[in-house]
Structure 1
Amino acid sequence: MDRDASSDAQLRLAAREAELARVQKIGQIGGLTVDLRGGRFRNTRSPEYLVVHGLPPEAVHETHEAWVQRIHPDDRDRVLGHFLETVRGHATDYEVEYRIIRPSDGQIRWILAKAEIERDADGAALLLQGAHIDVTARKQAEEQYELVARELSHRIANIFAVVSSLVRMAARSEPESRAFAARIEERLAALHRAHAFVGRSRTDAEGGLIDLLSRLLAPYREGAGERVQIDGKDGPIGPQAATCIALIVHELATNAVKYGALSSQTGMVTVTVDRDERAGRICWREAGGPAIEAQPKRSGFGSTMIERTIRAHRGLEVRYDWNPAGLCVTIDASLEALGR
């Protein structure tokens, strides 16, 4: 019975290993272990790893130098530096994306490497166990997306330019409409800046809400010294929220120039961004401008547009404090609303 039980266990183990190998082959995932003891890197590669990397069966114990040589020259220093820094540090997780040049066919493939590092009680690295995943198809799709996105962004920018030009041409033949046309152009420019922000490539998309505010308010900061200040906790913002906030901030800035703090030589505007795990807040504070006698009784076109923008974007709330010393506007939004 013991012999039969042992045989059954071996059969089940073999079946599981075959199933694992099949899954790795389908997912283009190769397993690996690296003995890190003593600062020497002794590799063991799975058969699926060898296929992903285009290596022959005898490369199952390839050298560390062979792996380094296979890394694309443009990625080699970055990847090797990250690997050595991780091994020599205290981290137990390792992850990096890079390109390789496969020896078997010369193809460039993208690899996502993920691993865990076992360490002794003193923190010295003992063993790395992980997987290499061929993510070439994903990278190619991302490159295609970037190409289409850049082309679309270029076409939309042209549309903004054409519409602004048509507005200016129409205003020339109707002098009484020039002031209105100028305001329309300013709003189109604000939308254009918001579009340029959300239409950035993924590799250039590090900035968040503060970056958006800086772009929107850049025309009002030129030659004004420190009259427009922006500070606070940055964070990501989605395309719908960016467009909505662009319209609101543009109206606030326009009114500040016409009636508020920026209409005075000594006035200034402070924009502060704050956020926690549930919501974000933008505070617009004006100081040093003409004293506010009372809240306006009539709502202009800009105020009406802000109200409609807020209603169209759920999770957004705007409050006005008509303080005699200067207008204070608070924009509150849930993180879900900011992410849309």
Structure 2
Amino acid sequence: MQLLPLMAVLLPLCMLGGGGWVMWRLTWAEAGEELLRSAEATAEYGARALTGYAVGAGRINERLRGLTDEQVLNAGPGLQGELGRIIRELPHAAFGHVVSREGRALLITGLPMPEAPVSMADRDYFEALRAEDAPQVFVSQQFSGRVQGSLLFTVARRREDTGNDLPSGETFDGLIGVSVDPNTLAEGMRRLQAPTDSLALVRDDGYVLSRSVGQTEPLPQVSRESPFHEIAAGRRHSHVYMSTRTQDGLPALFAAYPIEGFDAHAVALRPRQEIVARWQRAMLGYFVFGLPASAALLWLSLRVRADQLRLRAANAALGRDLERDADRLNRAARLGLVGTFEVDLATGVSLRSPEYMSLQGLAARAAVEGHADWVRRLHPDDRDRAESTLLEAVSETSGITDYAQSYRIVTPAGEVRWIAARGEIQRDADGHPRVLRGAHVDVTPLRETQMALAESDARLRLAQEAVGIGTWEWFPASRTLNWSPKMIELWGFDPAEGQPDLQEAMRRLHPADRMRVRREMAMANRAGWLRSEFRINRPTAEGGVETIWVIVRARLVPPEGGPGARLIGVAYDVTERKEAEAHSEMLAHEVEHRAKNALAVVTGLLRVTTADTHEEYVEVLEARIRALAGTMALLGRHRWKGASVGELLRHELEPFGMGEEDAPVTLDGPEVLVGPHLAQPLSMALHELATNAAKYGALSTADGRLEVRWSLRGQEVVLHWRESGGPPLDGPPERVSFGSQIITHSFEGSLGGTIERQWRPEGLACDIRFSTDREAPVAGLRG
């Protein structure tokens, strides 16, 4: 009883001391967890950025495929602008450059090439990529740029499939680099850090790529005494350690997390004094409650028994809840195809759950397997990587306790599945691995969706580039436009000058469409969509103005925490389609007109054609209609623009073996094009001349010859028709046939020309003249 006052004082003090110790440990543990999360987020950010720069370098390599160094060095602004657009699409990238295998800079995007050659041969990325065991992608140290003098680091890869002739045995043919401003890259990291922390991207050799606090010159290598080098050499998944800050030597807590795909880590740090201050603020509450604790001690002792009874009941209820949770967890594993495993690392024996075996494409029952069984099911392309990742994680020296990776397996049925493996490695007090416990999850649908989305995105970008689609945003509240570079080019502005002025853009609308477009834009704010076609008067490179047709499609997007809705749309040039529609309409009118004209001619032929017998009538009429149809076919092949004199002659005289040896017909003259309204009567007249020659003239005998020569004098065609070797003629025929009437009517009436015929003893001679610019249409034949 006498010790009771002393105990009432000592017990709270002991509790306060113990609570302070526990809070001290919890504060440091919480700080480590927070730093690890920041380092992991920074590693993901760094991986996306560095991967993007590597992909950008690959896109430049694809664009330069097949080009020699000389072609790249002498490339015009077009190629430099195209590569510049690739660099501008990469966040935080300063510029890209192409380097020859001698180290000479061939091309630098976004910067004028210096007059004197610039050598990159002393850069660490040049030395690394020139080596025989060069990595696929290399991230350089920081350096001061030789062209613009700013602080940079470079993500580089070898240049491949060039047009250069490499020496025998040589594989290095230059490189492509994407240079990055570390201070610009640090802007993204600053959004990930806590106010008291600092973040950095550090190569595994200790050289800093970028840090959130910014810098003006390259930083020295991380001290060799720092635990960072042991972590980087062991490639642990993540690690928290104490060290000193480079800039001031003060102690701080660090967390390192590897950047996937690169020999670098993301590092987060928090000063020791900040952690101590946080512990002191937490302990303030203990002091506030410590003194009342003595007074409440007696009252608490009376409540202990009651609390014990309630705790016993609560524990019983918790046990029942745990049983229900375990049952639900087992069902979730079965339905979600989550398979568990436990590997005894001393013996190599692995216990597999039924869900694990089912996921591997085997019978769904628990099994005992060895390491080789798992390796045998790995996809050949992933086998070496997956096995080495596992063996490294469970090695004696790695110190890793968290194991995670993704890979493909091939089931006994030949099905390829993607597996996400996660596990915990239990180690003894000396750090030796003892047991690996974890789970496998089938993530094949997720991977397939990711690949489908990537393919869809690539097709969309390709389609937009192929058809020249421009994208735009209209903010009605502020009456501002935001255009993509393609949209700016479509309107005739220079993308390098930034966003065009709204009023200047509206002035380039065709005056006849301007008011209608304004009304449609206003209606789109209410309807929620816009579909319009209009014309743009844009300047040309020669200083003139051209009119193009543009289609616009857009949809109103509701605000997401912003000031108001916006109209997002696309626009593309449809001038060729509009011209094709106009031309098709013109052709339709022309076909309709020619069809009516042909029907009029056929009607006239039916009315005036005569013959002694029905068979002769049919033969003569069919020949004339075939001649007319042949002319229509010629005009159709030329899209109703006309036909040449030579084509019409060859069509009518083709049955007489033109082009063969000893052919009875000789044609000589230029390809003179006559309009469709002249081609029809000309073909009818030539048909009748050829028919008369075949029946009564030179082409009616085996020894007969026909020579047709024509020339163009200004707008006048002069055609000479000479027959020889046929039946002797003693003058003009006694009766003028209908075919002769067609010849005279065609040349002197429809063609507006002249025809002079001489019936010489050796054969018919015709001199024909007509003008190619006569516009009178053919009206048909009258009897």
CA offsets 1:8-32 (integer angstroms, 9 cap, x no match): xxxxxxxxxxxxxxxxxxxxxxxxx
Q: CA deviation at 1:310?
A: 3.7
Write the distance in 1 (CA, Å) between the matches of 2:658 and 2:538.
Answer: 44
Q: 1:200 aligns with which of 619, 637, 649?
A: 637
Q: Which gives a bigger RCO, structure 1 or 2 (Cα 8 Å, sep 6+)?
A: 1
Distance, in Å, in 1 between the alignment partners of 2:696 and 2:751 is 30
For 1:134, give the aligned amino acid: I
Letter in 1 for 2:712: R
Segments of structure 2 that go 5 or more residues without pairing to the other structure are 1-73, 82-482, 499-530, 550-574, 778-783
Deviations 1:207-243 (A, max 9, x none): 5221222222223337975222221122220122111
Identity of aligned residues (%): 27
Answering whether residue 740 of structure 2 is matched by residue 303 of structure 1, we say yes
Secondary structure of 2:718's counterpart equals strand
* 1:59–1:281 CA distance, 2 compared to 1 (3 A): same
Amino acid in structure 2 at the alignment position of 1:233:
P
Deviation (angstroms), 1:152: 8.7
- The CA deviation at 1:39 is 7.7
Task: Tell whether 2:633 aligns with 1:231.
Answer: no
Alpha-carbon offset, residue 190 of structure 1 = 1.0
> What corresponds to 2:556 in structure 1?
none
Q: CA deviation at 1:307?
A: 2.6
Q: CA RMSD for the aligned pairs?
A: 4.5
The match for 1:183 among 620, 639, 651 is 620
Q: Residue 754 of structure 2: SS of its match in structure 1?
A: strand
Q: 1:189 to 1:333 in 2, by over 3 A?
A: same
Q: Report the counterpart of residue 141 of structure 1 in structure 2.
A: 582
Structure 1, unmatched stretches of 5+, are: 1-37, 63-104, 117-128
Question: 1:13 is matched with which residue?
Answer: none
Structure 2 residue corresponding to 1:261, chosen from 698, 712, 725? 698
Structure 2 CA distance for aligned equivalents of residues 332 and 58 of structure 1: 57
Cα 1:224/1:51, change in 2 over 3 Å: same
User: Comparing both structures, which one devotes a greater share of its residues to helix?
Assistant: 1
Cα offset for 1:61? 6.5
Quote the residue 2:727 is aligned against. Answer: 290
What is the CA deviation profile of residues 62-88 of structure 1, one whole-angstrom value per residue up to 9, with x for unaligned ones? 9xxxxxxxxxxxxxxxxxxxxxxxxxx
**What aligned pairs does 1:156-175 form with structure 2 within 5 A after superposition?**
none
1:252 is matched with 689
Sort the Cα spacing of 1:145 and 1:179 in 2 relative to 1 into closer, same or farther, 3 A. same
Kindly indicate whether residue 647 of structure 2 is the aligned counterpart of residue 211 of structure 1: yes
- Give distance in 2, aligned partners of 1:113 and 1:288: 66
8 A Cα contact 2:759 2:765, kept in partner: yes
Q: What is the letter of the counterpart of residue 336 of structure 1?
A: D
Equivalent pairs, count:
233
Hey, what's the Cα distance between the residues in 1 that align with 2:743 and 2:622? Answer: 17
Kindly provide the amino acid, as one letter, of the partner of residue 646 in structure 2.
I
Distance in 1 between the 2:729 and 2:753 partners? 26
Which runs of structure 2 are paired with 1:77-156 in the superposition (5 Å)?
129=543, 131-134=545-548, 136=575, 137-146=578-587
Residue 774 of structure 2 corresponds to residue 333 of structure 1: no
- The verdict on how the C-alpha distance between 1:270 and 1:52 changes in structure 2, with shifts beyond 3 A counting, is farther
Question: What is the DSSP-based 3-state SS (H/G/I as helix, E as strand, rest coil) of the residue aligned with 2:773?
Answer: helix
**Deviation, structure 1 residue 312:** 3.0
- TM-superposed CA distance for 1:288, in Å, is 1.7
Cα displacement (A) at 1:278: 3.4
CA distance in 1: counterparts of 2:696 and 2:599, whole angstroms: 31
SS state at 2:615 partner: helix
Summarize the Cα distance change of 1:220–1:178 in structure 2 as closer, same or farther, 3 Å threshold: same
Secondary structure, aligned partner of 1:290: coil
Write the distance in 2 (CA, Å) between the matches of 1:224 and 1:295.
32
Residue in structure 2 matched with residue 15 of structure 1 by the alignment = none
Aligned partner letter, 1:265: A
Structure index of larger Rg = 2
| Structure 2: distance between partners of 1:339 and 1:113 | 40
**CA offset at residue 59 of structure 1?**
1.2
Structure 1 residue 304: deviation in Å? 2.0
Write the deviation string for residues 110-161 of structure 1: whole angstroms up to 9, x where unpaired: x999765xxxxxxxxxxxx5555426232321134446767998x88x989x
Q: Against the structure 1 CA distance between its residues 284 and 57, is the aligned structure 2 distance closer, same or farther, given a 3 Å change threshold?
A: closer
Residue 241 in structure 1 maps to residue 655 in structure 2: no
Alpha carbons of structure 1 residues 227 and 250: separation in structure 2 relative to 1, 3 Å: same
